[in-house]
Structure 1
Amino acid sequence: MNNQQQQHKKTMDRVQKGLDRRYRQERHFKWLGLGAIMLGLVFVSFLFITIISNGYTAFQQTYVKLDVFYDPEMIAPIGETDPELLSRANYGGLIKASMRQMFPDVTNRREKKVLYGLISSGATYEIRDAVMNNPELIGTKQEVWVVADDDFDMLIKGHIDLRLPESDRRIKDNQLAWIHDLQEQDRVEKRFNTTFFTAGDSREPELSGIKGAAYGSFFTLLICLTLAFPVGVAAAVYLEEFAPKNRWTDIIEVNINNLAAVPSIVFGLLGLAVFINFFGLPRSVPLVGGLVLALMTLPTIIIASRAALKSVPPSIREAALGVGASPMQTITHHVVPLALPGMLTGTIIGMAQALGETAPLLMIGMVAFIVDVPGSVMDPSAVLPVQIYLWADSPERAFVERTSAAIMILLAFLISMNLLAVWLRKKFERRW
């Protein structure tokens, strides 16, 4: 009896040691997982903090107040106010005259050129538009707020290190003195940068905006959704509900799963070879971009739609067939409506993936510098990711903040689309 008790005790000791070791390993694995999650959150937080700290200043723009005399001799020397003549007047001369009046001590030609450079070239168009809209301004003197040059703007926002020697700064000492005088006269202020949301691309950072790229992204995603959603849902319904289970359908399923993992640039090469070289469609238009992104998004939509169809209980199909519904009526009236929330969720996630794609669009020429805002799917345009790519390649410091600001806008769209997908799933999901 004692031997049995001792043997039992030894067995329980070994079991307890094994349990202690297993629990210890489970605790280690738990802390390892939590550590990995925390490390990921730290990196993501660092990424967001870096982007926001670099980009939030792009939502403000520096303006300078000028006393502009709308000289009739420079605008309408013969008293003619024909719009075509007014559009060709020397409005840049009005700005230069105003600057010379504020700084009469600047007489050197080279210094004058530097002085004029404090004002953006876009100010000329602002003055022109004001005169075109109200010709009665001719002959009057008005206080006008115009956009400052990008280096001026960067100085006001604190992005230029004044401790550096003059040779290493884009702002020179004489410009610093002039800017200080303007600030002393309350002629400098920062305003909300509406240009960033209402203008297309530009070589001048202070005049560039995301409107053209945003419209291009909208038209591209519209084409992508119009083609990918019905085709993807129809393919999923056929494969899941009607296709016979044989070797050919197995091959199709394997290829769909493989296409979901194909690098996106391959779809760009396909679009370049088929849609542009073979069919002769124009480069850099949302139509071709939407076609390419539709091909790229189709596997994601098909896989998500099939998963949604599988989640519908067989009893729904059996009940519909039992009351006399045809197989097609069963699918269209009962199965697909119940699976639609999952299909929409997969589609939105696929659209979010398409919104952030750059590589396939670079292959079809949507990397071109395009100033005009597109008005249709056949107008040349850029998209937000490509616009970010173009700005990131520019050397000016002002484009750095606009790059980060555009990334913030793109991330806001992506997060919104993912939140919409989560909301749709929670709202329409049924538990069986």
Structure 2
Amino acid sequence: MTSILNQIAETKQQKVKASLAKRKSKERRFRLYGVVSISAAILFLVVLIASITSQGYTAFFTTEIRLKVNLDAETLGLISEQPTKEELFSANYMKALRNAIRNEIPVTGRKDRKALYSFISRGAEYKLRDQIVANPSLVGGTITYWALAGDLFNQYNKGNIDASIPERMRKFKDQQVGWYQLLDRQSKVRTVFNKNFFTHGDSRDAELAGIWGAMVGSFYTLLVCFCISFPIGVAAATYLEEFAPKNRITDLIEININNLAAVPSIVFGLLGLAIFLNVAELPRSAPIVGGLVLSLMTLPTIIISSRAAIKSVPPSIKDAALGVGASKMQAVTHHVLPLAMPGMLTGTIIGMAQALGETAPLIMIGMVAFIVDIPEGPFDAASALPVQIYLWAENPEKGFAENTSGAIMVLLFFLAFMNSCAVILRKRLEKRW
């Protein structure tokens, strides 16, 4: 009898051990799947960032050519001996620059001159003009001037144009390659930081195009979005969570808020086009309209996160306030909301970061227009950073291709910064109950 019981016990132990071994094996496989999934996600992220960085970091640099520029009055087209500021401003500086580049590389023939003149960007003329207007005494002399290079010259210097491919397949011809090598051997070519990329608006010339106008437009758009969506979102969340009666109407409102959070952003763009532009007749391509549209898109996110933050506050805090004689409004505004504010701000920052990266609704309201000037207010015509990226991505020129990747790097930086602020804010201000 005892031996039979021992056999039964041993059999059960073996089954238990086999079951435990099988369960542990499943747990190990599950952990392995998790590690593989996370590793794959990190790998894809690293490949994506590396790909964008490898293509976009060159946008932060540009090329200049050293020239000896003769600023005699005849070349500049100045008549009076003491030219006024207006005359200096409208002088022919490009002619002086073209004469200077021809002195470095003598050419004959209209086609060769056109190919040589493409070495100099229009931005070189504007910079020289500002320098002469600021110091008129330079007129009549010869100066050493670092001229901004044109796009093809700039791209070849950066290594973005491969001279080994057949000449018919590239715009920078063998003759121009020879001219570049001649200037480079004489140390008349240098690579400098591209200030234009961070201080200029959009341009038809890739070497002059910048993101500053789009960044200012995004700032005004997000400012309008925040000023509208944050107070309305917090007020709606507070009312629904603390004051609204629990009935079918509030249940329907809650369902619709959750559904609106999943609506495609282009639908909000169509709504803004129909209401804010066609009915309200607000200015097209203005950040005020973009902010209104993005506030509609951001509101559900802020309301949902704000309600979650209010729910996280222990009910005993409000009950204590009510117990010492505070009204319900006082208990909510003086005790619940201050404690829930870190969570509300975190949700708002995440919603604003999402709005910063939106393109479709802004395209629908006309912010896809070609805007050169820097906007001075929310009612001026402007673009936005993601829309600027979209516009440059459609341009086949190599200069705009690197500008696209460079702008994406800047946009990713701001998105990472805003999300980091949300995480830090939550860590520092949240209270554990």
**TM-score after normalising by structure 2:** 0.98
Match in the other structure for 1:138: 139
Separation in 2, partners of 1:117, 1:151: 8
Separation in 1, partners of 2:156, 2:111: 22
Matched, 1:241 2:242: yes
Which segment drifts farther, 133-142 or 418-427?
133-142
Separation in 2, partners of 1:306, 1:165: 63
Match in the other structure for 1:100: 102
1:94-132 Cα distance to aligned partner (Å, 9 max, x none): 11111122223x122211111111111221111221222
Which segment drifts farther, 294-303 or 132-141?
132-141
Mapped contact 1:70–1:137 kept (Cα < 8 A): yes
Matched, 1:365 2:374: no
| 1:20-419 equivalences in 2 (<5 Å) | 20-73=21-74, 74-104=76-106, 106-419=107-420
SS in 1 for 2:207: helix
Mapped contact 1:61–1:193 kept (Cα < 8 A): yes
Match in the other structure for 1:14: 15
Separation in 1, partners of 2:416, 2:123: 34
In structure 1, give the amino acid aligned to 2:91.
A
SS in 2 for 1:205: coil
Separation in 2, partners of 1:300, 1:333: 24
Percent of counterpart pairs with the same letter?
56
In structure 2, give the amino acid aligned to 1:251.
L
The alpha carbon displacement at 1:236 in A equals 0.5
Mapped contact 1:267–1:295 kept (Cα < 8 A): yes
Separation in 2, partners of 1:384, 1:395: 19
The alpha carbon displacement at 1:38 in A equals 0.6
The alpha carbon displacement at 1:79 in A equals 2.4
Separation in 1, partners of 2:110, 2:72: 22
In structure 1, give the amino acid aligned to 2:394.
D
The alpha carbon displacement at 1:200 in A equals 0.3
SS in 2 for 1:354: helix
1:73-105 Cα distance to aligned partner (Å, 9 max, x none): 13412325222222222111111111122223x
The alpha carbon displacement at 1:178 in A equals 1.2
1:122-160 Cα distance to aligned partner (Å, 9 max, x none): 211112212222221110110111110111111111111
SS in 1 for 2:281: coil
Which segment drifts farther, 79-88 or 47-56?
79-88
Separation in 1, partners of 2:387, 2:193: 25
Structure 1 unaligned regions, length at least 5: none
The alpha carbon displacement at 1:15 in A equals 2.5
The alpha carbon displacement at 1:57 in A equals 1.1
The alpha carbon displacement at 1:5 in A equals 2.9
Separation in 1, partners of 2:12, 2:186: 91
Separation in 2, partners of 1:102, 1:40: 53
Mapped contact 1:166–1:173 kept (Cα < 8 A): yes
Separation in 1, partners of 2:256, 2:69: 67
Aligned length: 431
1:257-299 Cα distance to aligned partner (Å, 9 max, x none): 1111111111001101111111111111000000000000000
Separation in 2, partners of 1:145, 1:5: 96
The alpha carbon displacement at 1:10 in A equals 2.4
The alpha carbon displacement at 1:377 in A equals 0.3
1:148-175 Cα distance to aligned partner (Å, 9 max, x none): 0111111111111111111112211111
Separation in 1, partners of 2:82, 2:41: 67
The alpha carbon displacement at 1:180 in A equals 1.2
RMSD: 1.1
Mapped contact 1:75–1:138 kept (Cα < 8 A): no
SS in 1 for 2:8: helix
Mapped contact 1:58–1:401 kept (Cα < 8 A): yes
Separation in 1, partners of 2:15, 2:174: 81
The alpha carbon displacement at 1:71 in A equals 1.6
Separation in 2, partners of 1:109, 1:80: 35
In structure 2, give the amino acid aligned to 1:297.
T
Which segment drifts farther, 127-136 or 279-288?
127-136
**TM-score after normalising by structure 1:** 0.98
Structure 2 unaligned regions, length at least 5: none
Match in the other structure for 2:432: 431
1:381-401 Cα distance to aligned partner (Å, 9 max, x none): 110000011111111111111
SS in 2 for 1:207: coil
Separation in 1, partners of 2:102, 2:45: 50
Mapped contact 1:75–1:86 kept (Cα < 8 A): no
Which segment drifts farther, 344-353 or 157-166?
157-166
Separation in 2, partners of 1:277, 1:3: 90
Separation in 2, partners of 1:420, 1:188: 42
Mapped contact 1:91–1:124 kept (Cα < 8 A): yes
SS in 2 for 1:206: coil
SS in 2 for 1:25: helix
Which segment drifts farther, 397-406 or 43-52?
397-406
Mapped contact 1:220–1:289 kept (Cα < 8 A): yes
SS in 2 for 1:64: strand
The alpha carbon displacement at 1:14 in A equals 2.2
